[in-house]
């Protein structure tokens, strides 16, 4: 990321519990110097803010990160993640959750999330993870790695070569799915940890592209698009 930002960087926190929302906002401010942080209690508030942001003010402020809870009172945060990923490609949608069950997380990553964070992390650790995600080092738990592997193992008909995982990416996923850390994986493959992290980032993107293509194909098949 470039060190110089001519406009003000904005972070969005969508979280229904007020204490946690405040805490996450604090963490964002601490992680990214000079960031303007906006809190929203539900999807409706978040959408209203995004609409206003899209109307104008983009020249002065730029949305760079959005921490979104999955279970919101008026719907699923995954919908909002899809929206942000599609309309604001420069922003990083990040899932903040209390439960790391792979079903929801996989769906969120496929929807365009660039990372996920557990809300019971210690503050320093959370800030560290936030910086890493922003630096292109998204986390990937063994069970998520497992699921992504399974997803790419049976590519739907019509997938192009670019939708698929490279053999290196598959290797990385396989080791992560067995419970190895990024550092251990790097050592095992004779790579730098940063390289492994960049593979993880690519895997995130490919999952998103692959599932989006799948959804489009399905829509075409059903005559919806």
Binding footprint of another protein on the chain (CB under 8 A): 98-101, 103, 120, 122, 141-143, 146, 175-181, 183-184
Distance CA 220, CA 199 (A): 31
Nearer to another protein among residue 22 and residue 100 (C-beta): 100
Q: Minimal CA–CA distance to 117: which of 136, 99, 95, 135?
A: 95
What residues have CB less than 8 Å from 214, skipping those under 6 apart?
156
Q: Are residues 137 and 200 in contact, defined by beta-carbon separation less than 8 angstroms?
A: yes
Distance CA 44, CA 159 (A): 36
CB of 143 to another protein, least distance (A): 6
Where would I find the H helices in the chain?
A: 18-31, 43-55, 77-87, 102-110, 123-134, 142-153, 167-177, 182-189, 193-221
CB of 200 to another protein, least distance (A): 13
CB of 183 to another protein, least distance (A): 7
Nearer to another protein among residue 53 and residue 193 (C-beta): 193
CB of 123 to another protein, least distance (A): 10
Nearer to another protein among residue 98 and residue 225 (C-beta): 98
Nearer to another protein among residue 142 and residue 155 (C-beta): 142
């Amino acid at each position: 990321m470039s060190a110089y930002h001519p406009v003000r960087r904005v972070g969005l926190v969508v979280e229904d519990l007020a204490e946690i929302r405040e805490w996450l906002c604090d963490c964002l401010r601490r992680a990214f110097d000079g960031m303007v942080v906006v809190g929203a209690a539900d999807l409706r508030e978040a959408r209203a803010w995004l609409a206003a942001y899209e109307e104008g003010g983009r020249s002065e402020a730029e949305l760079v990160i959005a921490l979104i809870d999955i279970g919101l009172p008026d719907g699923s945060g995954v919908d909002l993640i899809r929206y942000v990923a599609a309309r604001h490609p420069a922003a990083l949608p990040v899932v903040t959750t209390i439960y790391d069950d792979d079903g929801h997380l996989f769906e969120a990553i496929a929807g365009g999330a660039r990372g996920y964070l557990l809300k019971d992390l210690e503050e320093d650790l959370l800030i560290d993870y936030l910086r890493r995600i922003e630096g292109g080092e998204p986390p990937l738990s063994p069970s998520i790695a497992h699921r992504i592997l399974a997803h790419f193992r049976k590519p739907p008909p019509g997938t192009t070569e670019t939708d698929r995982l490279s053999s290196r990416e598959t290797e990385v996923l396989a080791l992560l799915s067995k419970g190895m850390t990024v550092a251990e994986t790097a050592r095992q493959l004779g790579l730098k940890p940063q390289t492994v992290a960049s593979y993880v980032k690519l895997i995130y993107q490919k999952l998103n592209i692959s599932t989006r293509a799948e959804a489009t194909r399905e829509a075409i098949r059903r005559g919806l698009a």
